[in-house]
Amino acid sequence: MSPSDPPSVRLRPEIVALPAYRQGQPAAASAFKLSSNENPFDPLPGVIAAVHAETAFNRYPDASALALRERLAERFDRSVDEVHVGAGSVALLAQFILAAAGPGDEVLYSWRSFEAYPGLVTVAGATSVQVPNRPDHGHDLPEMATRITAQTRAVIICSPNNPTGTIVTADEFESFMAVVPSDLLVILDEAYCEFVTDPEAVNGLPLLSRFPNLVVLRTFSKAYGLAGLRVGYALGPVAVLDAARSTAIPLSVTGVAVAAAIASLDASDQLMRRVRALTERRDRVWRLLGEQGWSIPAPQGNFIWLPTAQDTTDIADVLSAVGLIVRPFPEGIRISIGEEESVEKLLGICADIVDDLP
């Protein structure tokens, strides 16, 4: 029997057909890894010290990550039960989808968006309903509203959207919520919210008290630079969060991750200065690429989107050949804003490529 033979045990066919999560390519030591929207800054010494101080590895972690929930509750002026912590916001997404949708149910989201959504919906046994992004690469919320059916159990809105970098405006979000049934779960994925500079962008936090069907997801992976430790959080109504907690794989948030997240909150000012440096770098790249002739939607995450539409893998190969590892999609290429040297390299090679575009 060869390892690629079909499985002889009975498995769910839709799971057998499901590709595993596709990670950004690893980069050679000399290359810049700009394919996973990671934070290029090294962890702060205080965060490393907090991780080293956490040594009781023989003990299980606190299952509810109470210490971190207390800190987040205080910060966002919510009760502790209105905060839920997971092993990355992708784990939280899985939990909310499982809590709301099963076989025969639909989960609605804009596409292209975060790659994990379709797989998580399939794992739940539910059906994805994907509404194409607008020509300007943003979510088409009025069209999404028309696609809500009696089977819709969750809507995911991603702002800023991965991979296009576009935001949903506060006005667009309000108009959408006004037509969404109040018993339909709306998940606002704000993984990149700390990088937003557009004052029109939706901010889920102040809306939580108005919409009992709204859950906001955030993460320590991006702005806080803890992608490797896996910690994210959800804010929303207690009953919805309780249902998510019931679907969670127990004990998957480690004590080390909680300690690092708390130390990062302690160092928020310093970390937000790094975020500002990255957003300034991002805006400069966007402006200069625009001057080169690229048409790029205004980026609001820690990445930019080159909507090349065709030849995306060829262009990604050209970038890879000069040591820039990026993420090609069928509709375009996503490039994380990384180290300053990577930006200079990117601007140089993009100036060459743009002349060859159709």
Q: How far is the CB of 86 from ligand PMP (least distance, A)?
A: 8
Binding residue for ligand PMP, selected from 106, 172, 189, 331, defined by CB under 6 A: 189
- DSSP helix/strand/coil, 273: helix
Contact 121, 153 (CB under 8 A): no
- DSSP helix/strand/coil, 283: helix
User: If we measure between CA atoms, which residue out of 155, 236, 165, 167 comes closest to residue 202?
Assistant: 167
Taking residues 248 to 267 in sequence order and writing x for each that binds ligand PMP by CB under 6 A, - otherwise, the string is --------------------
Binding residue for ligand PMP, selected from 158, 168, 326, 350, defined by CB under 6 A: 158
The residues near 113 (Cβ < 8 Å, ≥ 6 apart) are 133, 139, 156, 158, 161, 162, 163
The residue range among 84-92, 169-177, 255-263, 316-324 that interacts with ligand PMP, by the rule CB under 6 A, is: 84-92
**Residue indicated by tokens 């809306």:** 207
Of 166 and 320, the one with the shorter C-beta distance to ligand PMP is: 166
Strand bridging mode 185-189 / 152-158 = parallel
Q: Is the dihedral of CA 77, 83, 88, 93 positive or negative?
A: negative
Q: What is the residue-wise DSSP string for 113-142?
A: --THHHHHHHHTT-EEEEEEPPTTSS--HH
Note whether 95 binds ligand PMP by CB under 6 A.
Answer: no
Q: How far is the CB of 120 from ligand PMP (least distance, A)?
A: 10
Note whether 221 binds ligand PMP by CB under 6 A.
Answer: yes
Note whether 88 binds ligand PMP by CB under 6 A.
Answer: yes
Q: Which of the 8 DSSP states describes residue 53? A: T
Note whether 223 binds ligand PMP by CB under 6 A.
Answer: no
Note whether 308 binds ligand PMP by CB under 6 A.
Answer: no
User: If we measure between CA atoms, which residue out of 93, 92, 96, 70 comes closest to residue 81?
Assistant: 70
Q: How far is the CB of 232 from ligand PMP (least distance, A)?
A: 4
Q: How far is the CB of 191 from ligand PMP (least distance, A)?
A: 4
Binding residue for ligand PMP, selected from 32, 109, 114, 176, defined by CB under 6 A: 114
Note whether 232 binds ligand PMP by CB under 6 A.
Answer: yes
Note whether 37 binds ligand PMP by CB under 6 A.
Answer: yes
* Binding positions for ligand PMP, rule: CB under 6 A: 37, 88-90, 114, 158, 162, 189, 191, 219, 221, 227, 232
